[in-house]
Amino acid sequence: MRKYLLFIWVSFLNLIEYRLNFVWSVAGTIIQTLMIYMFWTAVLGSGFGNGIYDRSSIGLYYLFITFVGTFASFDFFRIAHLINSGNLGMEIIKPYNFIIKEFAQTIPDKILKLSIMILIYLVIKYFGVNHQLSIIQIIFSSLAMVLAAVSKFYIGLSIGGLAFWFKRVHGFNALFWNVGGLFSGDLLPLNLMPAILFSVSAYLPFRYLAYFPVQIMLGKINFGWELLAGIGLQLIWVLVFSALCKLIWKFGMLEFDASGK
Amino acid sequence: MKRYIRQYFRMFKLSFMNEMTHRGNFLTWAIVHTTSFISMIVLFKIIYLGTSQIHGWSQYQAMLVLGVGTLVTGIGSLTFFPFMYNFGQDVQNGDLDLKLLKPLDVLFQSAFCWVDVEDIIVAPNAILLIVYSLWKLSPQNIIINLILFLILLLSSLMILFSVLTLIQSLTLKFIRVDYVAGFFWSLVNITKYPAKAITNIGKAGLILLVPVAVISSVPAEVLFGRFDWLWIFGSVISAIVMFFLSRWVFYKSLKSYSSASS
C-alpha cells in the first residue's frame, strides 16, 4: 500500500511542478462548458424543452456533467505509448501491480479538479442559484461517480491495450466516445431526446458514465428502486468492462515482445 | 513564398505516404470524423424538432455554422494544427535547434511540421453540409457571398493560427504545456455552435462569444446573405493585427530558448 501512496505523492508533485499545464487543462474544460451552457440557454429561450429545464437547471446540469467527466476521465494514451515504445516490459517486471499504479497516479489530478469544481459550485450557489444537495444525494452521487471512473478506467485500459495489435489507437478511442457523446448526456440532456433514442440509451453503458450520476446530483432520481437499479447496472457495466479489459490484456501480452513498434 | 508552398506539398506527400502504411488507422479516423459530424447534425436536428428558430437563426443557418466550423477544423488539420502537438516536445528535447539552423522561417517550420492526413475527410464532410444547407436556404448573389466568405474563412484561419502561436510562445517560457492541445481543441470545438444566436449574456460571456462568432458564425452569415459590416471588418482587421502580434510575441519568446532542457 505504501508504494502506491508514494506514486500518488509523486504524481501530485509532478502536477504542482507543471501547474501551468494543469491550468490549461482546466481552462479548456471550463470554456467548453461555458459555451455549451450559453448555447443551451439560447435554445431553451426559444421554447425548446417543454419547461423540463430552465436557465439555472441547465447550467447546473452542464456543471455536473463537467464535474463527472473530469473526475472520471482516464488517459488511455499513456498506456498505448507504454506498449508502443516497449517500455511496458520494464513496468511489468517491477514489484508492483501495474494497473493499481496507473489508477493511483490519476488520483491527485482527480482530487484537484474535483476541488475546483466544488469551488465553482459554491460560487454559483453564492450568487443565488437555488440547489440543495442532501447527504444521501452526496453519498450516492459519489458512489455513482466512482463507479463511472472505474468503468472509464477499464475502458481506457482496453482501448490503450489495442496498441498490442495497432500502432495508433486514437481512432478507436474517438469512435467510442463520439458515439458515447450522444448517449451519455454530454451533448444534450437525455430527457430532451426523442423517446426512441432515450430508450436506446438505457441499453448502452454511456448514460451510466455521466447522465446517471448527474441526475442523482440534480435530485431527479427516486431514492428507491430507480436508484438501486441504476447503481446495479453501473456495477454490471464495471464487470463487463473489467472482463473485456482482462481479455484484451491476456491476449495482448501474448503479442507483446517489449521491443516497441 | 514559392519555396514555402513547395515545402508544404512535399510534406503533404510524405505525411500521406506515412499514413498509408497504417491504412486501418486512416479508415478508422474517416469513420470517427464522420460519426462525430453526424452526431452534431443529429443534435441540431433534435433541437430544431422542438423549435423553429433560435433567436432568429433557422435550422439550416445553424447547420451552415456547423459546416463552416467543421471546414475551418478540416483545413486547420491539413495545415497548422499539428503545431499544437510536437512543439512542446521539440522545446523539451532541444530538437528545435535543428529548425533554428535551417534556412526557413522557424514559425513556419514549427507550425507546418507535418500534415494530419487522417483528418482529410473532415473538410469534404463539411463542404457537403455547407452545400446542402445553402441549397435549402437558396440565397441570392451567391458569387459575391462566396468571395466574401473565402476572405472571412482566411481570416478565421489566421485568427486560430495566431491564437495557437500565442499559446505555443508560452511553451518557450514554461517548457511543459502538454494540455495545450486539449485547450486548443476546446476552442475549436465551440466554433461549431451558432455563437451569434446567443443573446442576453453578461460581459464575461461576450469575451468568449465574440472570437467564436468571428471564426464561424460571421463567415456563415455572409454565405447565406446577411452582411453585418461591423463584424466583417472587425474580423478581417483583428485577423491581420493578431497575425503580426502573435508572430512578434513568438520571436520575442524564442530569445528565451536555450536548447535542450532550457
Grid coordinates representing A35 are: 459555451
Give the pLDDT score at A179: 77
DSSP A169: -
Nearest to A32 among B51, B179, B190 (CB): B190
Q: What is the mean pLDDT of chain A?
A: 85
**B54 vs A28: CB contact, 8 Å cut-off?**
no
Site from A24, A53, A74, A123 to mutate, B interface, most B CB atoms within 10 angstroms: A24
B42 neighbourhood in chain A, CB within 8 Å: 182
| CA pair distance B248, A209, nearest whole angstrom | 45
**A45 vs B187: CB contact, 8 Å cut-off?**
no
pTM for this entry: 0.83
Nearest to B183 among A27, A34, A50 (CB): A27
**A46 vs B53: CB contact, 8 Å cut-off?**
yes
The arithmetic mean of pLDDT across residues A180-189, rounded, is 85
B183 neighbourhood in chain A, CB within 8 Å: 24-25, 27-28, 31
- How wide is the angle at C-alpha A167 spanned by C-alphas A162 and A172, nearest 5°? 50
**A28 vs B208: CB contact, 8 Å cut-off?**
no
The CA-to-CA distance between both ends of chain A, in Å, stands at 33
**A24 vs B174: CB contact, 8 Å cut-off?**
no
**A24 vs B179: CB contact, 8 Å cut-off?**
yes
| Region at B58 (left for phi over 0; alpha for psi -120 to 50; beta for the rest) | beta
Residue A214 distance to chain B (closest CA, Å): 20
- ipTM associated with this complex: 0.81
Minimum CA–CA partner of B19 in chain A: A168
Give the pLDDT score at B161: 94
Give the pLDDT score at A48: 78
Minimum CA–CA partner of A28 in chain B: B183
**B43 vs A178: CB contact, 8 Å cut-off?**
no
Q: Which residue has the cell 417543454?
A: A50
B174 neighbourhood in chain A, CB within 8 Å: 20-21
| CA pair distance B18, A111, nearest whole angstrom | 40
| CA pair distance B242, B240, nearest whole angstrom | 6
Nearest to B183 among A28, A43, A178 (CB): A28
A28 neighbourhood in chain B, CB within 8 Å: 179, 182-187
pLDDT by 10s per residue, chain B, length 262: 888 889 889 989 998 888 888 787 788 888 888 988 998 898 899 889 888 888 888 999 999 999 999 999 999 989 998 888 778 778 877 778 888 888 888 889 888 888 888 888 999 999 999 999 999 999 988 999 999 999 999 999 999 999 999 988 887 777 666 667 777 888 888 888 888 888 766 666 666 677 877 888 999 999 999 898 998 999 999 999 999 999 999 999 888 887 765 4
Query: What are A33-92's pLDDT values in tens digits?
Result: 888 888 888 888 877 777 788 878 888 888 899 889 888 888 777 888 888 888 888 888
* Residue B127 near residue B208 (C-beta atoms within 8 A): no
A49 neighbourhood in chain B, CB within 8 Å: 50
The secondary element (H helix, E strand) that includes residue B58 is strand B57-58
